[in-house]
Structure 1
Amino acid sequence: MLRARRPLLRSLALTAQTVREHLADDPVLLALQISRRLPRAVSERAAAVLTRAPGGVAAAVRHEMRGEREAGLASLERADDVGPAARVHRADAALGLGRPDLAAAHLDSVPVGLRAAAWTAAAARLAAHRGDLDEAARLAAVHPRNRHLARRMAGERDAFRGATPVLARERSYAPVPGRVLHVLTNSLPHTGSGYAQRSHSILRSLREEGFAVSAVTRPGYPVQVGVPWAAERDVVDGVAYHRLLPARLAQGQADRFVQHAELLADHVRRERPALLHTTTHFANAAAVGAVADAFGIPWVYEVRGQLADTWAAARGPEARESERYRRFVEREAEAAARADGVVTLGEGMRERLVAGGVAGSDVVLCPNAVGEAFLAEPPDAAAARAELGWDDWAGAFVVGTVSSIVDYEGLDTLLRAAALLAPRRPDLRVLIAGDGVALPGLKSLAAELGIGPLCRFPGRVPRAAARLHHAAIDAFVVPRRDLPVTRSVTPMKTVEASATARPVIASDLPALRELVEDGHTGLLFPAGDDAALADALDLLGEDPALRARLGAEGRAWALETRTWAGNARRYRELYAGLGVHPTR
C-alpha cells in the first residue's frame, strides 16, 4: 500500500472544526461516542475513574462503557434533585442511550422561564432524533448561541426537502475512454466495513476487466472519523483512493452538497473519467448527478441499503411516520430515477426500487460476493482454531458470527439460545467477532446469562483474518431482527460463511431467504425465537455429517453464483450500455 502527500495543516484545521462543532452542538453525545470507541483497556480505566464521579451523566457514561445500559438509564431517571442545566445534560445522555421519552421528560421538567440556549439545543436534537425537520430547525434558531447548530439543522431540513447543487456546463470536457471514477462514502485502508470491502472488490474486478478505475471519498473523510494524518491519496492493491480534504467543511448538509459537487468537479477535471459511479445514500447522488450533468458524462447509482429503514430501525415504528423518513425515501427514489444506470444487491431491494418508480429492467443485480481469499479451499475448524491459538476450544462445537455488532443483528437472540442449549451441550462455545455499539451490552448479557466463560469476543478482526474466523466456526449464525431494513437488505457475511463451507443458520426473512436455502445450504428459524434457534443449533451439533453436507452445498452455491468476477461482467455490460468500454 502506497501513500501520497499529507495536507497536515488542512487536516488539523478540519479536525479542529469537527471537534469544535461536536463540543458546541452536543458534548454529552460526543462523550458517549468516544466511550464506545476507546480500546478495551482504556475504556476500563476510564470507567474506573468515572466510578468516583457523582451520579447522573458521568454514571451513565460509566455504565455504557461496561455494557450496562439499563443501569446507565436508571442513573438518569431522577431529576428532582438537580437544577435545570443538569436536567438538560441528562436529557442529552438519555437521547444518546436511545430513550427519547426520558429525554423529553427531563426537558419538560425545566420551567419555561429557565429554558436557555442549552435547553433549546437539546430540544432541537430531540426533534431531529424523532425526524421532525421543521421543529429541529426552529428550536435550534431560537437562541443566537446555537447559530452553528441552527445552520446544521436548517441545512439538513433543506437537504431532505430536495436541495440540489447546479454547476455550470463544461463545454470543452474530453473524457479518457474507459476511465471510471467511483465516488464513495468511505474506503480502505481507514475503514474496513463491508461497504469498503465491497467497493474495493468491485474496483479490483473492474480493473481486471480492462477499465482504468480509481475512487474518491466524500469531503472531509477520513479526517472526520479520526485520521488527521490522512494522505491525499492511498493506493491499496493497486487501486488509488483520492481524498477531498478542504480546510473547512460547509455548514449544513445542503451547503455541503454544493461543496461536495465543486470539489468533485475539480477532481474530475484532473482525472477526466468517462463515467461516474456512486452509492447510497442520496447525498452522494446529489453531488455526482450535478457533476455528471455539468460534464456531460453518464453516472451510475448503486443502492447498497435501505438507509431510511436503517435510520428508523434505531428509533421505533413511529419514526416511519416522520417527515425525515418520508423525505429520505423520496430522495432515494429520485436519485435512482435520475441516474443513467442503477445497481442493487438483491431481489428484495430491486422490488423496493421498482415500487419507487424505477423500471425493473433498468435495475442490474450485482449481489455481495467473495474474492480470492474465500475461493481457496478453506481450512477445517481444528486447523483454523489452532492457527488462532484457541487450543482451549479444540473439539468444541463453536457457533457464532463475524459481523458489525449493532442492535438489528439480533445477537442477543444468539446468546439467549446458547444459554438454553448450554446445559445439554457442554461442548458449546460462542464466537462473536466484530465491533459496534451493541458489543458492551452483549458482553454484559453473556455474563448475566451465565455463559460468559463459553463466549469469545475478539473485537474487530483484520480483514486478512476474517476467513480464518469463519473457518473456526462450526455453524455460522445470522439472527437478525424482523425489521424493514433486515427484510430487504442482503448482508455479505452469509456469502462468506457459505464460501468457507460453513452451514448458515439465519432468521427466516425475505433478504436472508435469498442467501440461505433451508435444508440445503443452511437452516432458517423464526426471527427472534430463542428456542427455535437453540433447537437448530442442537440439530447441527448432533449431526456433523449434516453440517458437512450443508457447508459443501453452500460453498458450491457461492462459487457458482457469488464471485466478483461474475459481478464484473455485469458491470461491464451496464457500462457498455452507457457507451463506456474497457480499453484492453
Structure 2
Amino acid sequence: MTRATELARHAVLGVTTAAAMLVEDPALLVVQASRRAPRSLARRAAVLLRRGAREPRRDARLGLAAWLTGHRDVARTHVAAALAAPGGRAGRRVLAEVAVELDVPDPGARGATAARRAWREGRVDDAVRLAQGTALGRRLASERDLMTPGLRLPTPTVPPTRPAPDGAPRALHVLVNSLPHTASGYALRSHAVLRAQAAAGVDVLAATRIGYPVSVGLVGARDVDVVDDVEYRRLLPWATARTPGARLEQHAHALAQVAARWGPTVLHTTTNYTNALVTQAVAAALGVPWVYEVRGLLEDTWAASFPTPALRDAARASRRHAMLRAREAELASAADHVVVLGATVRDDLVARGVDAARITVVPNSVDTALLGRHVSSVEARRALGLPTSGFWVGTVTSLVDYEGIVTLVDAVARLRDRGVDARAAVVGDGVARPAVERRVQELGLTEHVVLPGRVPPGAATSWYEALDAFAVPRRDTAVTRTVVPLKPMQAMALGRPVVASDLPALAEVVAAPGAGLLAAPDDATAWADALERLAGDDALAARLGAAGREFAAGRTWAAAGARYRALYEELAA
C-alpha cells in the first residue's frame, strides 16, 4: 500500500469520526475539539473571551476562558453563575456541555446534555432513557450492554491460521495506545513489558485499539510504528462502526486477521473490559490462551475523577460503578491467567472471586542500566542548568488531580517559611497543571518551583537524578489506595529516597523495603515534616536511597521478562 493511500484512508477515517460526533451532537463536537486544541491556540481564544467579558455574558465568557486554559476550579464558579442567568439557546448548549465536563450542577439540562450528565453521574438507565430514539441513545444503550455481565462478542471468522513456529512463545499484545504517539505511564509500561519479553526470547507484536491514533487527531500517523525494535500495528479502517458494540466487533475482526497471519501462541491484553472482550473473542477464534493484565481498577479510576468527596462517594454508590466492578471481575475470571502490578490489586480481585492460583504479580520494574548509574544531584542539576544549591524534591508524573501535586507545592512553601532552602521540580503535563501553576504563583514560588512540562522518556532520567528526594504526594482515593505507580521504582533504582503518601499501594513499595518515608495524604504540614527530616539528615537519606536501590535490583525488567516467558510456556503446556 502506498503512503498516499494510507493518508487518504486516515483522512477519511478522521472526517467520518468527526461527522459521527456532529450528527450525535454539534455542541459536544465543539467542546471535544476545544479540549484537544493546541495549548497556544486555547490561550489565544481565552484572551479574546476575557476581552469581551461584559454583562450579561460575563460569567459565560470567563468560565469558557478558564476551562480552555485548564483552570477548572475558576471555570466551575463562572459556569455555575452563567447557567443560573438567562442566556441564548445556542450559547447555553455549549455551556451546558462544559458544565458536564466540569461536574457543575445544571437543573436546566435537557435532551442530549441531560443524558450525558446522567451517564457521567453513573445513572446508566436514566441516560439511555433520556436519549432514546437518537444516535446518542443508541450509543449509550450499546455501551450499557457491553458493561452488562454475561455479554460476549461473537467469535470472529479467521482465515487459515499460520502455525506458530516451534520453540519460543509468540505473544500478541492488545493495547489501548502506545509510543510514539502517547507517552503515558500506561504506554511506557507496555513498551517496557514488550522489550523485556523480547529480551527473554518471546516473539512479540502489539496492536492498538481500532481507530487509534487517528481517533486522537493524528491523521498523518503510519499503519505500523517500530520503536526500539518493537512493532506496533494500527487497526485503521476507512471508517469505524457507529456504536461501541459494533466497533468492538470490528476491532475483533481486524485483530483476528493480524493474529491469523502472525500465528501467536498467546494473546495478552490490559484493562479495561473492552480490550478483554475483544481479546477473549479472538482467542476463542484462534484456539489460544489469553492473559488479562489488570493495571488498575476502572470503576475506582472513574470515581476518582470527580472534584469533590461528595461526588466521588455518589459515583461509588452508582449503578455504573457496580456494573464496571462486576464486569471487570467477570472477565478477569474468564481469562486463562491474570497479571497484576501489586499485592493490593491481587487481594482485591481475590475478594471478588478471581482464583488466586491464576493471578501472577509482575510489578513495575526498572532497567538494569539504571542500577549502575551514580550521578549526584548537584551534578545532574548543573547539567540541566538548574541551581545547584538547596534541597530539591520533585516528581515525574502525569499532572492529574489525584496525584496531589498542590500538596507538594504547599509543603515546599512551609519548608521555606521554616528557613529550609527547599526547591521543587515537577516534570510532566496534564489537566491539573494550570492549578499547580496558579498555586506556585499564589505562594510566590516561581523562582523555586520548576515546571518543565513533559520531557522525552530518555531525558527523564536526568530529572530523577537532579532530585534529593522523589515525591509521590497522591491524594487518598480508592484508586490510589490500590494502584502502584511506575515512577517511584525508577527513582529508587537511581538511589533517591522517596517520600510518599501513606496509602496501602505506596506503603507496599516504599515503607516495606525501607526505601523512604510516608506522610499523610493532603496534609502539607506532614509532608513538610517528612521532607525536613531528609533535608537535615544526610545519613538517613543515604540509608533510604541505598535500601531503595537494593529493592529495585530485585525488580528488573529482565526478571519480569523471564517471568512472562515462564507464564506463557505454562499456558501453552
Give the TM bin, normalised by the shorter chain: over 0.9
Change (3 A) 1:96 1:57: farther
Listed as ranges, the matches of 1:181-330 within 5 Å are 181-315=172-306, 316-330=312-326
The runs of at least 4 consecutive aligned structure 1 residues that moved more than 6 Å come to 3-6
Within the candidate set 563, 566, 570, 1:570 is matched to 563
Query: Is it true that 1:164 corresponds to 2:155 in the alignment?
Result: no
Distance in 1, Cα, partners of 2:549 & 2:31: 41
Instruction: Give the residue type in structure 1 aligned to 2:152.
Output: T
Of stretches 82-91 and 333-342 in structure 1, the one that deviates more from structure 2 is 82-91
Query: Is it true that 1:51 corresponds to 2:50 in the alignment?
Result: yes
Instruction: Give the residue type in structure 1 aligned to 2:560.
Output: N
Listed as ranges, the matches of 1:329-408 within 5 Å are 329-390=325-386, 393-408=387-402
Distance in 2, Cα, partners of 1:423 & 1:429: 12
SS at match of 2:235: coil
- Displacement of 1:189 after TM fit? 0.9
Q: Residue 475 of structure 1 aligns with which residue?
A: 469
Query: Is it true that 1:152 corresponds to 2:145 in the alignment?
Result: no
Q: Residue 432 of structure 1 aligns with which residue?
A: 426
Change (3 A) 1:534 1:106: farther
Contact 2:340-2:363 at 8 Å conserved across structures: yes
Distance in 1, Cα, partners of 2:351 & 2:406: 33
Query: Is it true that 1:180 corresponds to 2:176 in the alignment?
Result: no
TM-score (norm 1): 0.91
SS at match of 1:45: helix
State the Cα deviation string for residues 138-160 of structure 1 (Å, max 9, x = none). Answer: 21225xxxx33222212211111
State the Cα deviation string for residues 461-494 of structure 1 (Å, max 9, x = none). Answer: 1101111111111111111111111111000011
- Displacement of 1:333 after TM fit? 0.8
SS at match of 2:447: helix
Distance in 1, Cα, partners of 2:419 & 2:88: 54
Distance in 2, Cα, partners of 1:517 & 1:30: 46
Query: Is it true that 1:95 corresponds to 2:100 in the alignment?
Result: yes
Instruction: Give the residue type in structure 2 aligned to 1:573.
Output: A
Listed as ranges, the matches of 1:383-532 within 5 Å are 383-390=379-386, 393-425=387-419, 427-517=421-511, 520-532=514-526
Instruction: Give the residue type in structure 1 aligned to 2:175.
Output: L
- Displacement of 1:541 after TM fit? 1.3
Instruction: Give the residue type in structure 1 aligned to 2:122.
Output: G
State the Cα deviation string for residues 363-407 of structure 1 (Å, max 9, x = none). Answer: 0110001125523314211121122122xx211211111001111
User: How many residues in Structure 1 have an aligned counterpart in Structure 2?
Assistant: 557
Instruction: Give the residue type in structure 1 aligned to 2:415.
Output: L
Q: Residue 73 of structure 1 aligns with which residue?
A: 76
SS at match of 1:249: coil
Contact 2:28-2:94 at 8 Å conserved across structures: no
Contact 1:28-1:93 at 8 Å conserved across structures: no
SS at match of 2:572: coil
Change (3 A) 1:343 1:545: same
Distance in 2, Cα, partners of 1:372 & 1:38: 39
SS at match of 1:301: strand
- Displacement of 1:201 after TM fit? 1.3
- Displacement of 1:23 after TM fit? 4.4
State the Cα deviation string for residues 94-120 of structure 1 (Å, max 9, x = none). Answer: 221232xx23x342xxxxxxxxxxx30
SS at match of 1:151: helix
Contact 2:147-2:323 at 8 Å conserved across structures: yes
Instruction: Give the residue type in structure 2 aligned to 1:95.
Output: V
Distance in 2, Cα, partners of 1:308 & 1:213: 30
Q: Residue 13 of structure 2 aligns with which residue?
A: 14
TM-score (norm 2): 0.92
Contact 2:415-2:421 at 8 Å conserved across structures: no
Instruction: Give the residue type in structure 2 aligned to 1:52.
Output: R
- Displacement of 1:31 after TM fit? 5.2
Contact 2:370-2:494 at 8 Å conserved across structures: yes
Distance in 2, Cα, partners of 1:29 & 1:508: 39
Q: Residue 63 of structure 1 aligns with which residue?
A: 66
Distance in 1, Cα, partners of 2:446 & 2:37: 22
State the Cα deviation string for residues 405-452 of structure 1 (Å, max 9, x = none). Answer: 111111111122222222123521121110111111111122122323
- Displacement of 1:6 after TM fit? 7.0
List alignment gaps of at least 5 residues for structure 1.
108-118
Of stretches 82-91 and 343-352 in structure 1, the one that deviates more from structure 2 is 82-91
Question: Percentage identity across aligned positions?
Answer: 45
Contact 2:414-2:525 at 8 Å conserved across structures: yes
Distance in 2, Cα, partners of 1:180 & 1:519: 33
